[in-house]
Amino acid sequence: MTPSQVLASYGPAAGLAPVVTPFAGGEKDRPLAERLAAHPLIMAPMAGVSDGAYRLMARAGGADLAYSEMVSVAGLHYGERSWELVDPVDGEPDVAVQLFGSRPELFREGAERVVARLGARLALIDVNMACPVPKVTRKGEGSALMEDPGLAAAIVRACREGAPGVDVTVKIRRGRHMGREVAPEFARAMEDAGAAAVAVHGRFATQMYRGEADWGVLDRVADAVGIPVIASGDVTDHAAALRALDQTGATAVMVARGTYGNPWVFSGHEATASERVAAFACHVRLLEATGAHLKRARSLAGWYFKGMPDAARWRNAAMSCVEADEFLAVADEVRAHVC
């Protein structure tokens, strides 16, 4: 079965809706600001998580826009395997591609190649300036770029040169080091370089994911720029997403860990146990249909079954699974005991 056929066959039992092209009727080319304002809940880029199957689940759950995993521009330059992270899957109307690196010339080349490969299915190009992981930052990439706004601006300009007519956005943090907030002035520099929107995670990079995200930075950035600001950090459920929109100057909200086992976070649908088991089974079938590594379903089992009776038992059972049929057998067992 194709991914589209999987969703059509198994999505309804999971409370998932058909995936539709945004701004149907020839309106897909409306400005990004209008798209974000009309459909403000979007799925964040997540390394090792947001593959094609995951993006399709999010779109079926109500996300208007979903991002690829972060893709190395050096990887696009030197090898073909990175394209597995970029290519939309069957049934995916468009995808936001997030790139990372530190060399403007590779961003220019990467943007040009992404446009040539995806065409109309490219929603936008996002530059990762937020990743706090040391193996990324020690190369001057990710959140390390926030210490060099000149280089960061050159990267934005390079992406625009390589992808004329395509929106280029950035994802940043409050700053790199604890207590040194630079996000407002940094965002202004990215806007001056041509960025169409800025996503702001309300933690410093050195915090990693510890502590609470400061949503106050969203207002400070929104006051500093005229482009849309996208909230990120501690958006754990639908109610939190709505609070971020209501309480801050953000135009849209990017949901990351809040999507774990909950593709309905975008619509606010409260899934039943039966729908959660059906969603896990649908997700496994999507992994199989898209050619993804099925070991990813081990993490999915923990997320979808969280809070259910004997959740540890089902999670442990999934950890020994290898083939799709084995994961689906676990789903059948959960259904028989829980639903």
Closest residue by Cα to residue 166 from 118, 198, 131, 105 = 118
Contact residues for 10 (Cβ-Cβ < 8 A; gap 6+): 278, 281, 282, 285
Closest residue by Cα to residue 258 from 299, 213, 297, 303 = 303
Q: Which of 131, 159, 282, 321 is catalytic?
A: 131
Distance CA 339, CA 325 (A): 20
SS (H, E, C) the chain: CCHHHHHHHHCHHHCCCCCCCCCCCCCCCCCHHHHHHHCCEEECCCCCCCCHHHHHHHHHHCCCCEECCCEEHHHHHHCCCCHHHHCCCCCCCCEEEEEECCCHHHHHHHHHHHHHHHHHHEEEEEEECCCCCHHHHCCCCHHHHHHCHHHHHHHHHHHHHHCCCCCEEEEEECCCCCCCCCHHHHHHHHHHHCCCCEEEECCCHHHCCCCCCCCHHHHHHHHHCCCCEEEECCCCCHHHHHHHHHHCCCCEEEECHHHCCCHHHHCCCCCCHHHHHHHHHHHHHHHHHHCCCCCHHHHHHHHHCCCCCCHHHHHHHHHCCCCHHHHHHHHHHHHHHHC
Contact (CB, 8 A) for 281 and 260: no
Is 131 tagged catalytic? yes
Q: Which residues are catalytic?
A: 131
